Amino acid sequence: MRIAILDDYQNVARDLADWDSLGAAEVTVFTDHVADRDELVRRLAGFDVVVAMRERTPFPEPVLARLPDLRLLVTTGARNASIDVAAAARHGVVVCGTGYLPHPTVELTWALILAAQRHLPTEVAAMRAGGWQSTLGTGLRGSTLGLLGLGRLGSQVARVGQAFGMRTLAWSRNLTAERAAEHDVTAVSRETLVAEADVLSVHLVLSERTRGLIGAAELAAMKTTALLVNTSRGAIVDEDALVAALRRGEIGGAALDVYEHEPLPADHPLRSLPNALLTPHIGFVTRDVYEVFYRDAVADIAAFQAGTPTRVLTP
């Protein structure tokens, strides 16, 4: 059995799981990202198993159709919008998932909020250059935290905001007042959420209903001092509209860990905007999460070898 591990940017997969337990399997780790479909197909020719890291490498039907040797596709996490699971089934490819830990993304969300509100990148750079105080920060107590989504992640983000003394509001299509109250959060309309939030944080799953949910109209309705935070999926925010809003100063700033196209192109305009705080999609990139990912991937492969696939994803 030939196994390909994709997009292991830190080259840690071998150290975080017991791949030797799979017997005579040949494991190949790829630490770079391949965006071109033809190159990806050439790279994966002859592999029986592919382990994909989240949505970094898409597997639509045109790719799956050109990988006749592929029998098992393991995605880290419990879902993957970049894999056409129905097409995989048609081509005889079993798709399995792994466990996941939500707390690291919650932690990074607050790292971004605090860093942006207290201008940490600017102050750290000034200290390294021999400077001293140069900015005026914004406190959180008494301000309003708006949450797009109040699921596993959004509810934990809310709890931290409440510890800071923030008023917490939330919206999602299916959120009820009763469900929000369970987390001491007030459910409001999307229009109210966008207009009243001092910090607006995105915690929704990407779908056709949420793609572009925050666009030019929503950005224009936000406070000119508001911070937009996205640690969910880049395409939920209209990136072109966000760049335009930041350039015009329509909002105070953006703190982003996710982007519509990843890795973010080196010449992308977001990289040059002083009111955009950017991290390279590291919300889930922690040792404890990766240990779950790769250990479960090994278990998925072993179960598949034994004829009893586990954590199988269905269309």
Mean pLDDT on 284-302? 98
Residue-level pLDDT at 39: 98
Mean pLDDT on 149-178? 98
Query: By percentage, how much of the chain surpasses pLDDT 90?
Result: 99
Residue-level pLDDT at 274: 96
- Which one, of 159, 157, 225, 164, lies nearest residue 196 by Cα? 225
Q: What pLDDT, in 10s, does the model give residues 6-30?
A: 999 999 999 999 999 999 999 999 9
Residue-level pLDDT at 165: 98
User: Taken in order 264, 56, 81, 296, is the CA torsion positive or negative?
Assistant: negative
Give the strand pairing for 199-202 and 253-256. unpaired
Mean pLDDT on 237-248? 98
Go through 46-69 and write b for each residue having 16 or more CB atoms within 10 A of its CB, e for each that does not: ebbbbbbbbbbbbbeeebbebbee
Mean pLDDT on 88-106? 97
Residue-level pLDDT at 10: 97
For residue 158 the two structure tokens come to 């809310």
Residue-level pLDDT at 237: 98
Residue-level pLDDT at 245: 98
Q: How far apart are CA 251 and CA 226, in angstroms?
A: 5
Residue-level pLDDT at 13: 98
Q: How many CA atoms lie within 13 A of 263 on its CB side?
A: 9
Mean pLDDT on 47-58? 96
For residue 60 the two structure tokens come to 């639509």
Residue-level pLDDT at 62: 98
> With bands split at pLDDT 50, 70 and 90, how would you rate the model's confidence at 57?
very high
Q: How far apart are CA 301 and CA 153, in angstroms?
A: 29
Q: Give pTM, 2 decimals.
A: 0.94
Residue-level pLDDT at 156: 98
Residues with active-site annotation: 233, 262, 281
Q: Dihedral, CA atoms, 240, 246, 247, 252, nearest 10 degrees?
A: 170
Query: By percentage, how much of the chain surpasses pLDDT 70?
Result: 100
Q: What pLDDT, in 10s, does the model give residues 171-227?
A: 999 999 999 999 999 999 999 999 999 999 999 999 999 999 999 999 999 999 999
Mean pLDDT of the chain: 97
Residue-level pLDDT at 262: 93
Q: How far apart are CA 289 and CA 80, in angstroms?
A: 16
Residue with tokens 């917490």: 168
- Which one, of 104, 103, 64, lies nearest residue 80 by Cα? 64
Cis bond upstream, residue 62 (ω within 30)? no
